[in-house]
Amino acid sequence: MIGMSFPPFITLLILGLLAALVIHVLARYYVLAGVDGFMCAWIAAWVGGWLGTPVFGHWSIRSGNVYFIPAALGALTGAFVVTAALKAFALAVGPRQSGFGSQPGAAAQPAMRKAS
């Protein structure tokens, strides 16, 4: 599976493109909204499609060593898992509010002034 010929590579490229379109454009599930986010999803979908056949099994129509349905499931899973992991990472290390005991999303308290 590591040394693949050109037709299975193109098959994975097309399945990855379709999976990235579904995740990024149709479902609007992304971390980066531009072309860079789409390319990230496409690469993750290609890797997921490449791993889909060994993980989900050897069944359905095939092109070389790539079986279409397991590769499509792997491509969708790969694009979704990478996007979900990046979203979780962005949420974990995102900007935080300063102050002791502050809750995320809580409104900032006005400063107290000395009465004259």
Residue 53 pLDDT > 70, yes or no? yes
Find the helix or strand (DSSP H, E) in which 67 lies. strand 66-67
Q: Residue 109: what pLDDT?
A: 62
Confidence band, pLDDT 50/70/90 cuts, at residue 110: low
Using pLDDT thresholds of 50, 70 and 90, give the confidence band for residue 72: very high
Q: Name the residue among 71, 8, 77, 82 with its Cα closest to residue 41.
A: 82
**Torsion on CA atoms 59, 64, 66, 67, rounded to nearest 10:** -20
* Predicted model pTM: 0.76
Query: What integer pLDDT is reported at residue 41 of this predicted model?
Result: 94
Length of the chain: 116
Of 30 and 84, the one with more pLDDT = 84
Helices 6-20 and 35-56: crossing angle in degrees, nearest 10, is: 120
Confidence of residue 32 (pLDDT cuts 50, 70, 90): confident
Could you tell me the pLDDT band of residue 95, with boundaries at 50, 70 and 90?
A: confident
Res. 106: pLDDT tops 60: no
* Predicted local confidence at residue 63, as pLDDT: 87
Distance CA 82, CA 23 (A): 11
Locate 39 and state its tokens.
């390319």
